[in-house]
Amino acid sequence: MPTKWYESEVVSIKKLSPDTKEFVVKIPGEEIFIFVPGQFVTMDLPVGEKRQQRWRSYSIANAPDQKNHLEFCIVRFEDGLGSCYFHDVVKVGDIIRFKGPDGGFVLPEKNDSPLLLISTGTGIAPFRSMLQGIFSKNEVLQPIHLIFGTRKEEDILYRDEMEYYAKKYPNFLYSTALSRENKPGFVHGYVHEIYKKADYIIPDDALIYLCGWSKMIDQAVEYLLIHKKVRKDQIRYELYG
């Protein structure tokens, strides 16, 4: 079966942090674009001749219930062909071509296990999609803990939304670690400082999802396996960068 490509229109661009923007695209037509929270699409961007230069994958940052609207949070890297194109060139009305969805970084179809979601930077994107999907049902039965790490308070992504969920749903806990600032209300250091505490208990039936830079994931997996004694089959991860 040939790969299907979609032509989507950029309908909104919003600044999320000093170096991160949210891009919202709309897929025209009556056909519904179906995906599972946590999946990604691969875009064909006009930034080179070779496929390895042009094709860039980005996680969908919203739940599937927003008909044919897809949201992406993209951080700008000075040497990133795709990210610089989005930040410096793309404007509302432009056409973005992509294929997908792809990826197995998703929740089980029927899941009532406790969830520990650990992310850094734009690695929060698939978790936001998952959480929106869960909260759209308006009932949260299992404990969910989202741990987000970034450098400074100004770099926190989707802060208002996550704080709203934490107030509305008693079973949802939201923690943020700042590595470059020491401010009241935040953990000073990396994400690991939060779950490393001696009294932090991870249930035997919990599912642990990690998304972010490879160094963070490597450190987390090692600590969780050795010191928290979790099983390998409890851990799932997706690398960014």
Q: List 39's β-bridge partners, or say none.
A: none
CA distances from 122 to 7, 60, 119, 142, 225 (A): 24, 11, 8, 25, 25
Phi, psi of 163 (to 5 degrees): -65, -35
Distance CA 3, CA 227 (A): 44
- Across the range 70-81, mean pLDDT stands at 94
> What confidence tens digit (pLDDT) does each residue in 196-230 have?
999 999 999 999 999 999 999 999 999 999 999 99
| Closest CA relative to residue 158, chosen from 130, 188, 138 | 130
Least confident of 132-141, 157-166, 174-183: 132-141
- Please answer whether residues 157 and 16 qualify as being in contact, where contact means their C-beta atoms are separated by less than 8 angstroms: yes
What are the phi and psi torsion angles at 64 (to 5°)?
A: -70, -5
Do 157 and 48 sit in the same domain of this protein? Answer: no
Same domain, 119 and 235: yes
Q: How many domains does the chain have?
A: 2
- Which CATH number covers residue 196? 3.40.50.80
Give the span between the Cα atoms of 71 and 22, in whole angstroms: 7
Q: What residues pair up with 148 in beta bridges, in sequence order?
A: 119, 176
Bond preceding residue 101 cis, omega within 30 of 0: yes
The residue range of the domain holding 14 is: 5-102
Shared-domain flag, residues 123 and 235: yes
In this structure, what token pair is assigned to residue 90?
């793309």
pLDDT tens for residues 179-190?
Answer: 999 999 999 999
Q: Is the pLDDT of residue 1 over 80?
A: no
Query: CB of 177 within 8 A of CB of 189?
Result: yes
pLDDT tops 60 at residue 241: no
Q: Starting at the edge strand that comes first in sequence, how are the strands of the sheet with 95-102 ordered?
A: 55-59, 40-44, 95-102, 5-17, 20-26, 69-75
What are the Cα distances from residue 50, in Å, to 5, 47, 55, 159, 197? 18, 9, 9, 37, 47
Are 80 and 26 found together in one domain? Answer: yes
Write out pLDDT tens, residues 153-165: 999 999 999 999 9
Q: What percent of the chain has a predicted confidence (pLDDT) above 70?
A: 98
In a domain, 82, yes or no: yes
In one-letter notation, the amino acid at residue 179 is S
Residues 185 and 229 in one domain: yes
What is the β-pairing status of strands 20-26 and 5-17? antiparallel
10 with 97, same domain? yes
Pairing status of strand 55-59 against strand 40-44: antiparallel
Beta bridge partners of 206: none
State which of 102, 134, 149 marks the end of a domain. 102
